[in-house]
Amino acid sequence: MKTIKRMMDHMYWADERILESLEDCETKNKDLLKLVRHVAVAERVWLSRLQGKGSAEYTLWEETDDLTAIRTMFEENAEEYRVYIEGLEESELDEIIDYMNQSGVPFRTSVRDILLQVLLHGQYHRGQINRILRSESAEPAQVDYITFARL
């Protein structure tokens, strides 16, 4: 449980670093903003599933130019994940969650694997976001775990 909590803390930190980089460069790149929004919405979708709620209301890939709304979603996600994780016992990590994906296909996955999906999915896309920032001659965000661990 300690490792998952630490990794979640890294996710909140890395999401914030990415947002700061995007705000600093004042990007209007629609593909980049769509990707950042996707990360925030995916975090929300998985959280809804963990909470036993549906996720059909969320659209994973949608264009936006509103970085403020994306920031708000990340902040709300972080707060709700903190509450969820604090209420989670080690023994609950292997509980199975029944849910449907965005296409309505049913799945069963452990809490542990869902949390790992959230963590790894975000890090994958943060790498893509940094690549796009670099291609626009903007400063990419340093989001490596080791950088976070050294703080």
Q: How close are the terminal C-alpha atoms of the chain, in Å?
A: 21
What residues make up the domain containing 127?
2-149
Q: From CA 141, how far away is CA 29, in angstroms rounded?
A: 16
The pLDDT of residue 111 is: 98
pLDDT in tens, 36-66: 999 999 999 999 999 999 898 999 999 998 9
Say if CB 19 and CB 67 are below 8 A apart: yes
Instruction: Give residue 146's pLDDT band: very low, low, confident or very high (50, 70, 90).
Output: very high
Quick one: how far is CA 37 from the chain centroid? 9
Q: What mean pLDDT is reported for the chain?
A: 96
The pLDDT of residue 28 is: 87
Question: Has residue 96 got a pLDDT over 90?
Answer: yes
Find the CATH number of the domain harbouring 136. Answer: 1.20.120.450
The pLDDT of residue 119 is: 97
Question: Has residue 26 got a pLDDT over 90?
Answer: no
Question: Has residue 27 got a pLDDT over 90?
Answer: no
Question: Has residue 10 got a pLDDT over 90?
Answer: yes
- 98-123 CB burial, b ≥16 within 10 A, e <16: ebeeeeeeeeebebeebbeebbebbb
Number of domains in the chain: 1
User: What percent of the chain has pLDDT above 70?
Assistant: 100
Instruction: Give residue 144's pLDDT band: very low, low, confident or very high (50, 70, 90).
Output: very high
The pLDDT of residue 128 is: 97
The pLDDT of residue 125 is: 97
